[in-house]
Amino acid sequence: MNAAVQRVQADSLNEPASNSWSNALLIGNEVVMSGMTGHPATRLAAETGAPLDTYAQTLVVLGKVRALVEAAGGHVGNIFRLTVYVTAIADKDEVGRARRDFFAGQALFPTSTLVEVSALVFPELRVEIEAGARLDLDLRTVEKR
């Protein structure tokens, strides 16, 4: 039996019809997301001369992840996996601080992998995050073992 698949779209995220990918798919109870970046906020900030640092970019990206999970009918506690790509491994502490602030108060943090890459799609980008969520779990209240 095949699981039902739905495209997930959040009003706050632009997803042009010409894209060759989906920002997120709901497959059964699982929300599978493409890598999210801080674009276009990072581009606008760079143009005004006040570029977003890695901490701020990470919070923008996690906000997009939350928006997609919510559009699928979930909440931040459903996010169980993060794959984080940074252009400078030295930024790992800023990414970690943003994750702690974003997921503050949860019983458990999502699993996470952090990898340094040579570049992202636009030069002002410092971080990209792929995420996974399951609508049938809640890391905000799960008991630690």
Domain spans, the chain? 26-134
Cα separation, 90 vs 108, whole angstroms: 25
Q: Report which of 10, 110, 102, 12 is spatially closest to residue 57, judged by C-alpha positions.
A: 102
User: Residues, the chain, total?
Assistant: 145
- In CATH terms, the superfamily for domain 26-134 is RutC-like (3.30.1330.40)
The overall pTM is greater than 0.85: yes
145 residues of the chain, pLDDT tens digit each = 677 899 999 988 877 777 788 999 999 999 999 999 999 888 888 888 888 999 999 999 999 999 999 999 999 999 999 999 999 999 999 999 999 999 999 999 999 999 999 999 999 999 999 999 999 999 999 776 6
Tokens linked to 139: 């890391």
Integer angstrom CA distances of residue 94 from 7, 124, 137: 32, 16, 27
